[in-house]
Amino acid sequence: MNLSVNLPGLPMKNPVMPASGCFGFGKEFAKFYDLSQLGAIAIKATTVEARFGNPTPRVAETTAGMLNAIGLQNPGLDKVKEEELPWLEQFDVPILANVAGSTMEDYETAAKELSASPNVGALELNVSCPNVKVGGIAFGTDPELAAELTARVKKAATVPVYVKLSPNVADITAIAKAVEKAGADGLTMINTLLGMRIDLKTKKPILANTMGGLSGPAVKPVAIRMVYQVRQVTDLPIIGMGGIQSAEDVIEFLIAGADAVAVGTANFTDPFVCPSIIEELPQKLEEHEIHSLAELQRRAVAR
């Protein structure tokens, strides 16, 4: 079965990519398998300046999920451009470069510079990271701000721009429509749900940052619902994510309305999860009598 999906800036061999922040810049996973197998790679959020991120503990396990408050640790734009991206050029795989910042100018600068890298196929605007206190979060929950940022980044960027939506909103379709109008080429969703855990021994939050982003299988029903809702209001490409662990999960996202998917947390429990899913996908599609991905894509789920 032909698994390829052609998304703006991302000619994907198959609809599966690792999610941003859950795959670093690929080096660690390249020790386990050939990254050229992947449909694309969403690299870790990049900011103009290097960031250390939040104090530790930065992760906490929850039932069927985890909280993280990494705080956008990254080596900064220059190092990503000069070291990480060139290293990834050895693989035949398009890169979705996740861009973050605290001001609109930051986003513009990073977007402009990253688009100039030969293997960056598209940008993913991280307007939804719940772990950064300045900016970040507000961009993702306010449709007007999100739209303005999208428009400005579109001007600065020379590759297609995907906006990564936050699930921490009352109406995800409002943001989706706003960024579409502002020129977004695609949507990726969902980022993490804001959550918290308390350590009974210390009576304090486990995360040094108090709150963090919830990911993993626990959030999948919320993600599926949001992809479905957004698919009703837009024809933009959607890269769906949230709790994917198996080929069945991928199919569920595709039926909900996604064109491709990203796998996050599952990379931590099984470093081979992406290639395993890619390998399993044709058989699982057949089992469910799906003869091409096109059959599913853009299909409104009517009942």
Partner 1 sequence: MKKEWLTVIECTPLAKGIYKMVLQGTMTEEMESPGQFVHIKTSAGTDPLLRRPISICDIDHTNNCFTILFRAEGKGTTELAAKKKGEQVDVLGPLGNGFPIEEAEAGESVVLVGGGIGVPPLYYLGKKLKEKGLHITSVLGFQDKETVFYEEEFKEIGDVVVATADGSYGISGFVTDAIQEKGLSFDWMYSCGPTPMLKALEASYPEARGYVSLEERMGCGIGACFACVCHLQDDPEGTSYKKICSDGPVFPLRKVVLS
Ligand X SMILES: Cc1cc2nc3c(=O)[nH]c(=O)nc-3n(C[C@H](O)[C@H](O)[C@H](O)COP(=O)(O)O)c2cc1C
* Displacement of CA 188 from its chain's centroid (Å): 6
Site for its own copies contains 193 (CB under 8 A): yes
Phi (first) and psi of residue 256, to 5 degrees: -65, -25
* 290: nearest Cα among 15, 28, 7: 15
For residue 68, the cross-strand partners are 59, 213
Q: How far is the CB of 56 from partner 1 (least distance, A)?
A: 6
Q: Is 60 annotated as a binding residue?
A: no
Site for ligand X contains 126 (CB under 6 A): yes
Q: Among residue numbers 5 through 24, which ones bind its own copies (CB under 8 A)?
A: none
d(CA 20, CA 18): 7
Q: Among residue numbers 96 through 125, which ones bind ligand X (CB under 6 A)?
A: 98
Cβ contact 238:187 at 8 Å:
yes
Q: Is 50 annotated as a binding residue?
A: no
Measured from the CB atom, the residue of 3 and 208 that comes closer to its own copies is 208
Number of residues that bind its own copies (CB under 8 A): 44
Strand order of the β-sheet with 59-62 is 59-62, 65-68, 212-215, 193-195
Site for partner 1 contains 51 (CB under 8 A): yes
Q: Is 242 annotated as a binding residue?
A: yes
Q: Is 26 annotated as a binding residue?
A: no
Measured from the CB atom, the residue of 27 and 298 that comes closer to partner 1 is 27
Which part of the chain contacts its own copies (CB under 8 A), choosing from 33-41, 118-126, 163-171, 272-280?
163-171
Site for its own copies contains 115 (CB under 8 A): no
* 50: nearest Cα among 83, 78, 91, 85: 78
* 165: nearest Cα among 101, 232, 218, 238: 238
Q: Return the active site residues.
A: 129
CA distances from 73 to 44, 52, 69, 165, 263 (A): 9, 5, 10, 20, 20
Q: How far is the CB of 183 from ligand X (least distance, A)?
A: 19
Measured from the CB atom, the residue of 56 and 210 that comes closer to its own copies is 210
Site string for ligand X, 14-53 (x = CB under 6 A): -----xxxx---------------------xx--------
H-assigned helices in 90-142 = 104-115, 136-141
Q: Residue 26 contacts by C-beta under 8 Å, 6 or more apart in sequence? A: 35, 41, 43, 87, 88, 91
d(CA 288, CA 38): 23
Which residue of 17, 67, 95, 261 would you call a contact of its own copies, by CB under 8 A? 67
Q: Is 212 annotated as a binding residue?
A: no
Site for its own copies contains 294 (CB under 8 A): no
Residues that bind ligand X (CB under 6 A): 19-22, 44-45, 68, 70, 72, 98, 126, 129, 164, 191-192, 215-216, 219, 241-244, 263-266
Annotated binding residues for FMN, as ranges? 20, 44-45, 98, 126, 164, 190, 216, 242-243, 264-265
